[in-house]
Amino acid sequence: MIERLVVDIRRIVAEHATPEGAVAALSSRLRPLAEDRSWIAEDLYETDADQGFGITILHEEPADGFLLETVCWEPGRGVAPHDHQTWGVVMGLDGEEINVDWRRIDDGGEAGRATLERVAETVVTAGIVKTFSPNDIHSIRNDSDRPSLSLHLYGRSLAKIARSEFNPLAGTVAPCPRRVRRGD
Ligand SMILES: [Fe+2]
């Protein structure tokens, strides 16, 4: 199932001149994976206790190509607002996670400082898709009492990109910490 998906992602990315065009087609291609979930192995629910979530790489395209992975969020855990510096498609597979979109409203003129405002909140459940542009900022939390699982597709391998993580309460921005990933 994943092998066929990877072939299709390659084709769809190559067929589209812009990432904006590709993410719409990729969203449609990912949807069946939330309907027939027989491919979801138990170990995709493994998490890193310190991090509060578990990332499993399903496919990393060579030569700085796309990255396909699942993320499992422990109940009550989440991640601070961050950007991706590439396009992204995220689809819920199981359980429920809250995606918060943020907008940066300062001019970026002061190093280490950033002011964010909340824009929207989406409850991501099985089959719900969110797409991201490189500078979009979002945070995730799992407020439910059981793990949530989602499928993530990014234009490039996130570990190889300089990204930012934000603290909206403190008004700060810093380099995004490197996440623990299975298969990295
Ligand atoms: Fe993210």
In angstroms, what is the span from residue 149 Cα to ligand 1's centroid? 13
pLDDT of 182 reads 86
Taken in order 128, 134, 137, 139, is the CA torsion positive or negative? positive
pLDDT of 1 reads 87
Per-residue pLDDT tens listing for the chain (184 residues): 899 999 999 999 999 999 889 999 999 999 999 999 999 999 999 999 999 999 999 999 999 899 999 999 999 999 999 999 999 999 999 999 999 999 999 999 999 999 999 999 999 999 999 999 999 999 999 999 999 999 999 999 988 899 999 999 999 999 999 999 887 7
Q: How does strand 78-82 pair with strand 88-94?
A: unpaired
Question: Domain containing 7: what range?
Answer: 2-182
pLDDT of 183 reads 76
Instruction: List alpha helices for 31-184, DSSP H.
Output: 32-35
What CATH number is given to the structural domain containing 47? 2.60.120.10
In angstroms, what is the span from residue 107 Cα to ligand 1's centroid? 22
The count of domains in the chain is 1
- Cβ atoms 100, 132 nearer than 8 A: no
- Cβ atoms 115, 56 nearer than 8 A: no
In angstroms, what is the span from residue 140 Cα to ligand 1's centroid? 8
pLDDT of 184 reads 72
What is the value of pTM for the model shown? 0.95
In angstroms, what is the span from residue 150 Cα to ligand 1's centroid? 11
pLDDT of 40 reads 97
In angstroms, what is the span from residue 11 Cα to ligand 1's centroid? 24
In angstroms, what is the span from residue 53 Cα to ligand 1's centroid? 12
pLDDT of 34 reads 97
pLDDT of 69 reads 97
Q: How does strand 78-82 pair with strand 148-154?
A: unpaired
